[in-house]
């Protein structure tokens, strides 16, 4: 396994992040346990979840599965850099969602109980909350850090200016600020290259791509059913319908390289200096083992140029991408 520092921190994490969104939905608990055990065997030490995963409001189904796995002992919790998220609705009552100081503190306590741990290594805001001032958010987050319940704070689905605003307010408060951003990023969706990726680079944050295979559309025709879960299937099919010819040319190019499309798509992300670790969300052990082949892919300048021709990005960061 390859490892990288998480942004500007001294924390070392695996170049793959194990996504757990399928656990308790498409993946039964016993198989989820086997996948997590296998991930540790492979050297994956970075696990990502969220309080809303499992999609039963307020229950934190996936976090509970991780908690029962940690409770088996054997150094499981100690070996894992654990990331979870706060924002989504955990009930229908006021203040049971979003990023008020009240909800952040209550949500953290709920996640800690479900995960059966005394701290969260990376606590991520699942979405921007435009209604809550940053001083309030950072007051709540900093208290959790001081209490030892959270070590690092990250964001997810933020725009570039959200990242800048959050970090500038944090700097004014003399605290560490955001250390990572989790964004949708893949060969078909490169919008983050305009401002999010440059913001991450500028502030020393790790970029953690979610949906690196575009809901299975980039997995290749032979692996698409394996690569997309129940929620990803519809999104993936829409992308396949929209980009069918482009995807066929991509698969042909990958055949020339001698690699599976999924492995090429993952490696393309991993070679970006700002990317810490793409999130792989296996539903089965076979999918987890298959993802490891991406570590063997080498993409030279000519291969990257071909990929840019097939899947053009903005070309440059903003404003040069559209101005001068």
| CB-based contacts of 268-271 (< 8 A; 24+ apart in sequence) | 268/187, 268/299, 268/304, 268/307, 269/185, 269/186, 269/209, 269/212, 270/2, 270/15, 270/294, 271/299, 271/304
Cα–Cα distance between 74 and 3 in angstroms, integer?
22
Sequence-separated (6 or more) residues with CB below 8 Å from residue 22:
32, 229, 281, 282, 283
DSSP 127: S
Q: Catalytic annotation on 203?
A: no
Is-contact 118 148, C-beta < 8 A? yes
User: Exactly one of 3, 53, 87, 185 is catalytic; which is it?
Assistant: 53
CA separation (Å) from 255 to 126, 262, 296, 304? 37, 12, 15, 15
Nearest Cα to Cα of residue 81 among 11, 16, 180, 29: 11
Nearest Cα to Cα of residue 154 among 112, 114, 206: 206
Query: Cis bond leading into 282, ω under 30°?
Result: no
Report strand pairing: 3-5 vs 12-14. Answer: antiparallel
Beta strands in 218-311 (DSSP E): 279-280
Active site residues: 53
């Amino acid at each position: 396994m390859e490892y990288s520092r998480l942004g500007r921190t001294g924390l070392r994490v695996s170049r793959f992040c194990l996504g757990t969104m399928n656990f308790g939905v498409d993946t039964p608990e016993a198989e989820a346990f086997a996948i997590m055990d296998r991930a540790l065997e492979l050297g994956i030490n970075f696990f990502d979840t969220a309080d809303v995963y499992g999609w039963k409001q307020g229950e934190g189904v996936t976090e509970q599965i991780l908690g029962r796995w940690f409770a088996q002992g054997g150094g499981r919790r100690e070996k894992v850099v654990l990331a979870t998220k706060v924002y989504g609705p955990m009930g229908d009552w006021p203040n049971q969602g979003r990023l008020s100081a009240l909800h952040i503190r209550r949500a953290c306590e709920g996640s800690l109980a479900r995960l059966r741990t005394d701290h969260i290594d990376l606590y991520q805001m699942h979405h921007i909350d435009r209604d809550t001032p940053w001083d309030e958010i950072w007051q709540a987050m900093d208290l959790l850090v001081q209490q030892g319940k959270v070590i690092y704070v990250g964001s997810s689905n933020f725009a570039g200016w959200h990242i800048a605003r959050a970090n500038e307010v944090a700097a004014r408060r003399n605290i560490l600020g955001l250390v990572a951003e989790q964004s949708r990023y893949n060969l078909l969706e490169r919008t983050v290259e305009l401002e999010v990726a440059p913001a991450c680079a500028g502030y020393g944050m790790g970029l953690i791509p979610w949906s690196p295979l575009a809901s299975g559309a980039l997995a290749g025709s032979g692996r698409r059913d394996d690569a997309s879960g129940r929620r990803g299937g519809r999104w993936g099919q829409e992308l396949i319908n929209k980009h069918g010819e482009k995807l066929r040319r991509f698969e042909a190019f990958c055949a020339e390289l001698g690699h599976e499309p999924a492995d090429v798509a993952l490696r393309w992300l991993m070679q970006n200096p700002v990317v810490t670790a793409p999130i792989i969300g296996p539903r089965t052990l076979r999918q987890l083992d298959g993802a490891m082949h991406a570590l063997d892919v080498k993409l030279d300048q000519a291969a990257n140029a071909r990929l840019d021709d097939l899947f053009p990005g903005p070309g440059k960061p903003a404003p040069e991408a559209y101005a001068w």
